[in-house]
Amino acid sequence: MGRIIIGVMGPGTGASRKEMDAAYELGRQIAQQGWVTLSGGRACGVMDAVCRGAKSADGLTLGILPTENKSDASLSLDIAIPTGLGSARNNINALASDAIVACGMGAGTASEIALALKVQKTVILLNSTPEAQAFFSSLDVERVEIASTVNEAIEQIKRILSR
Amino acid sequence: MGRIIIGVMGPGTGASRKEMDAAYELGRQIAQQGWVTLSGGRACGVMDAVCRGAKSADGLTLGILPTENKSDASLSLDIAIPTGLGSARNNINALASDAIVACGMGAGTASEIALALKVQKTVILLNSTPEAQAFFSSLDVERVEIASTVNEAIEQIKRILSR
Amino acid sequence: MGRIIIGVMGPGTGASRKEMDAAYELGRQIAQQGWVTLSGGRACGVMDAVCRGAKSADGLTLGILPTENKSDASLSLDIAIPTGLGSARNNINALASDAIVACGMGAGTASEIALALKVQKTVILLNSTPEAQAFFSSLDVERVEIASTVNEAIEQIKRILSR
Amino acid sequence: MGRIIIGVMGPGTGASRKEMDAAYELGRQIAQQGWVTLSGGRACGVMDAVCRGAKSADGLTLGILPTENKSDASLSLDIAIPTGLGSARNNINALASDAIVACGMGAGTASEIALALKVQKTVILLNSTPEAQAFFSSLDVERVEIASTVNEAIEQIKRILSR
């Protein structure tokens, strides 16, 4: 029936140390649950950190790349999918994920949250800004969840998957 | 060298009367300036209203449809482009517009604003919510402009185009 | 109800003199019929020639670009749509055209013909190779038409549009 | 560095018994080599058969779906990626595969071969028609290989990967 896929979105080159640490731990715990980790796949920021975390716990990592080839893929990806779509690939990240965690914020991440809400998927905002929490909750209060720790996010994913 | 294209984004079926009235007037004034009006192209909400407004002033209207055919296109479109991409077409709306106005808010519109900011295009928020203004300004304060009237939005577009 | 759009596909940098001459004349006659000319939009080969021909007869030209911006757009485009999709934009060329003419052949053009046949659109092969005629006819004999002159292609388009 | 991905393309509902048998055996042997099987992912024809074959040898199966959700995914997929792109997803199939085998022919398959040749990837035509062999060889004789058995195709893939 296909494995469960958890999408983790977040900044690339502009990611903070704290965001990357959270992404690493999130990837590790996603892998421990037996879920596949999906990300934007590039070798930087949250995308790279979540893949490294997932591999530290022998998880399977899947990256949906904006580029036409694998040259800028994270070295911790098992499966690199170059799409050649640029940011239009953000919609695939939203559609392919059974649950979505935004770890940090930026324009690309914001588009992925919005595209996920558009198809009525629940999004977990981890360590997000007050402005992001207020805005996305105003778009769809029932499908936006707030998490302040990785453990909390994992519990929220379990609830989303059990619906 | 190609005509100037102004993208107007906004809710479809959920658009309010006020949003549709603003979109109609915006389309009319865009046409008066000699600019092409680009929208999501469907026969509802802000997309339809901005096309009707543009046609009322003999403007050229262009719609980037999410569907594979033209069956749900606005009757006020001159050029209907079915993309078959679903919401991935939102990135085309961002890339193809020389300036972008968000008229109202929703998940699809939010994704278009974020995708436009991602490629460093300026976005004008017309009659937007405080939450949207605060969030998008937090993403990129230099590229988010606030307008409270259509006239103000037109003046902002002129400044964006003159840069 | 939207204007009629005729898609003209063909090689870019590798186009022959004969293919470009045919594309120019095709664009000119498409414009004379009052139809919009759609192409891949780049400033080379068949894409550029068909736009120049259409403009010589005051036609409207529309280009669906593979790139994220307009920097490599034909100077004869009225409306340049950067998609950022690379060759995935070839499917838009197929979907957005009411009739499609392949003027010359290459891998990109072959994909556009195949994608058009996939959605059951008729394709006209102008000055095509025997191998291309035999192959595409084997895929869908009812929807592949052969033309050896531009005049013949225009007559075939008229028949397709009248169905 | 990412696992090796072999794309297998072919007809969906119109696939013949012979094509599906070849696809099953191809999937089985791809899995035995330790490669990931990529297909269009739907629950019919060559896409489904190659996934079933790969699973019979404990391979990993990846499907790039045209739809927005997983409802029509093959039950033999490990990883289902709904793209919502329709046939524009065919370009992802071409870009994401380290080597590509066309098993049977149709308009969708033809587009995938052409898109692969466009980015200079080698394509193996297995049990293909004389018309397809002649046409694609005329497009790029160096990157089109002909196979008449699954064993032969596997040997060709090994040579492609060793370049």
B68 Cβ under 8 Å from any chain C Cβ: yes
Is the pLDDT at A53 greater than 90, yes or no? yes
D117 Cβ under 8 Å from any chain C Cβ: yes
Mean pLDDT for chain A overall: 97
> Residue D148's pLDDT is what?
96
A128 Cβ under 8 Å from any chain B Cβ: no
Q: CA of A118, closest CA in chain B: separation in Å? A: 5
Contacts C–D by Cβ distance under 8 A: 88
pLDDT digits (tens, 9 = 90+) for C10-65: 999 999 999 999 999 999 999 999 999 999 999 999 999 999 999 999 999 999 99
Rg (CA), chain C: 14
End-to-end CA distance of chain A: 17
pLDDT digits (tens, 9 = 90+) for C60-111: 999 999 999 999 999 999 999 999 999 999 999 999 999 999 999 999 999 9
pLDDT band (50, 70, 90) for residue C126 = very high
Are C132 and C105 in contact by the 8 Å Cβ rule? The answer is yes
Contact A85 B86 (CB under 8 A): no
Residue of chain A with shortest Cα separation from C66: A85
Q: CA of C68, closest CA in chain A: separation in Å? A: 8
> Residue A1's pLDDT is what?
65
Handedness of CA B122, B126, B131, B132 (dihedral sign): negative
CB proximity under 8 Å: A 8-67 to B = none
The beta-carbon neighbor of D81 closest among A70, A78, A96 is A96
Are D28 and D38 in contact by the 8 Å Cβ rule? The answer is no
Q: What is the secondary structure of D126-157 as a DSSP string?
A: ES--HHHHHHHHHH-TTSEEEESSHHHHHHHH
Q: CA of D141, closest CA in chain C: separation in Å? A: 12
Query: What chains are in contact with B, requiring at least 3 Cβ pairs below 8 Å?
Result: A, C, D
D89 interaction partners in chain C (CB closer than 8 Å)? 88
User: Among A64, A83, A90, A119, which would you mutate to test the B interface (most chain B Cβ atoms within 10 Å of its Cβ)?
Assistant: A90
> Residue D145's pLDDT is what?
98
Dihedral angle, C-alpha D56, D59, D64, D69, nearest 10 °:
70
Q: CA of B56, closest CA in chain A: separation in Å? A: 31
C75 interaction partners in chain B (CB closer than 8 Å)? 1
Mean pLDDT for chain D overall: 97
Is the pLDDT at C112 greater than 70, yes or no? yes
Measured distance CA(A76)–CA(C135) in Å, rounded: 43
List, for chain B, all residue ranges whose pLDDT scores fall below the cut of 70: 1
Contact A90 B86 (CB under 8 A): no
Phi, psi of A60 (to 5 degrees): -95, 130
A2 Cβ under 8 Å from any chain D Cβ: yes
User: In the structure encoding, which two tokens stand for residue A40, read together?
Assistant: 């934007």
Dihedral angle, C-alpha A69, A72, A76, A82, nearest 10 °:
-30
> Residue D53's pLDDT is what?
98
A62 interaction partners in chain D (CB closer than 8 Å)? 79
User: In the structure encoding, which two tokens stand for residue C20, read together?
Assistant: 């470009």
Contact A69 D5 (CB under 8 A): no
Q: Per the confidence metrics, is the pTM higher than 0.90?
A: yes
pLDDT digits (tens, 9 = 90+) for A100-131: 999 999 999 999 999 999 999 999 999 899 99
Are B89 and B110 in contact by the 8 Å Cβ rule? The answer is no
Residue of chain D with shortest Cα separation from C85: D88
C122 interaction partners in chain D (CB closer than 8 Å)? none
Give the ranges where chain D is alpha helix by DSSP (H): 17-32, 45-56, 90-96, 107-118, 130-139, 150-161
Contact B118 A88 (CB under 8 A): no
Handedness of CA B91, B96, B99, B100 (dihedral sign): negative
Distance of CA D70 to the CA centre of its chain: 19
User: In the structure encoding, which two tokens stand for residue C79, read together?
Assistant: 């409306």
> Residue C1's pLDDT is what?
65
Is the pLDDT at D1 greater than 80, yes or no? no
Contact C110 D106 (CB under 8 A): no
> Residue C151's pLDDT is what?
98
B84 Cβ under 8 Å from any chain D Cβ: yes
Q: CA of B111, closest CA in chain A: separation in Å? A: 4
Residue A17 to residues A105, A133, B18, C92, C155, Cα–Cα distance (Å): 13, 21, 44, 41, 65
Q: Under DSSP, is residue B39 helix (H, G, I), strand (E, B) or coil?
A: strand
Are A32 and A58 in contact by the 8 Å Cβ rule? The answer is no
Contact A134 B135 (CB under 8 A): yes
C77 interaction partners in chain B (CB closer than 8 Å)? 2
Residue of chain C with shortest Cα separation from D140: C107
Dihedral angle, C-alpha D95, A99, B111, A87, nearest 10 °:
-20
Q: Under DSSP, is residue A27 helix (H, G, I), strand (E, B) or coil?
A: helix
A88 interaction partners in chain C (CB closer than 8 Å)? 83-85
Measured distance CA(D146)–CA(A51) in Å, rounded: 38
Which of D64, D59, D8, D2 shows the shortest CA–CA distance to D35?
Answer: D59
Contact A5 D83 (CB under 8 A): no
Contact D86 B85 (CB under 8 A): yes
Which strands form C99-103's sheet, in the order they lie side by side? C79-82, C61-65, C36-39, C5-9, C99-103, C123-126, C144-147
ipTM: 0.97
Which of A39, A54, A35, A59 shows the shortest CA–CA distance to A161?
Answer: A35
Phi, psi of A8 (to 5 degrees): -120, 120
D68 Cβ under 8 Å from any chain B Cβ: yes
Measured distance CA(C35)–CA(A83) in Å, rounded: 33
Which of D153, D137, D139 shows the shortest CA–CA distance to D6?
Answer: D153
